[in-house]
Amino acid sequence: MKTGSQRKIFRTLGASVLLAGSTLVLTGVTAGPAQAGTCNTPRCGGEVVNNSNSSIRVANQWCWGTLGQTQAVGQTLKCVKNPGRSDTYEADFELPAHNETANYYYYYDTDSVRFFAGCVTKYHWWGGSQQTINRSGKDSLWIKITDIDKIFIDSQSCP
């Protein structure tokens, strides 16, 4: 048989567990929009920093096809409904040289970057070493930016 103080402890413990569970559920609900591809503060999602002397195409949209697909070949992403626009969602545009997507509200969560056909691009991911993508004689290549990853475009050389 439980004493009055034991019942009080169990009630307090039960209320604490319920409160903790509710907090987890509410946290999951508020995190939903960022996971859905939009967020309201700079650097809250994927980001592109263009340190090159040329513009580079970025998109705040990614076309999901095959599960886990992280690359797409072509000049455009088929799911982009608003090409050439920096002022809306489901769009892409030319990020100017020496600029970053954190300066564009609708690109606070950038989903992809295009490596131009015929160009050699040097880039690195946040904290990573420099890599090169050579698209000489090939079509453009779009790369998915996952979650809050950050990619730096170091240089581009196009004939």
pLDDT tens string for the chain (159 positions)?
555 555 555 455 444 444 444 443 333 333 322 334 578 899 899 999 999 999 999 999 998 776 678 999 999 999 999 999 999 999 999 999 999 999 999 999 999 999 999 999 999 999 999 999 999 999 999 999 988 899 999 999 998
Residues 82 and 118 in one domain: yes
Q: Which of 158, 152, 155, 53 is nearest to 101 (CA)?
A: 152
DSSP 33: H
Which pLDDT belongs to residue 58?
Answer: 99
Cα-to-chain-centroid distance, residue 144: 8
Residue range of the domain that includes 102: 47-157
Q: Is 120 exposed, middle or buried (0-12, 13-18, 19+ CB in 10 A)?
A: middle
Place of tokens 């939903």: 32
Residue 55 lies in a domain: yes
Which pLDDT belongs to residue 18?
Answer: 43
Residues 107 and 152 in one domain: yes
Q: Is the pTM of this model over 0.85?
A: no
Please list, residue by residue across 72-86, b when 16 or more beta carbons sit within 10 angstroms of its beta carbon and e when fewer do: beeeebeebebeeeb
Residues 2 and 62 in one domain: no
Residue 64 lies in a domain: yes
Number of structural domains (the chain) is 2
Residues 76 and 118 in one domain: yes
Residues 65 and 31 in one domain: no
Which pLDDT belongs to residue 65?
Answer: 72
Residues 17 and 62 in one domain: no
Residue 41 lies in a domain: no
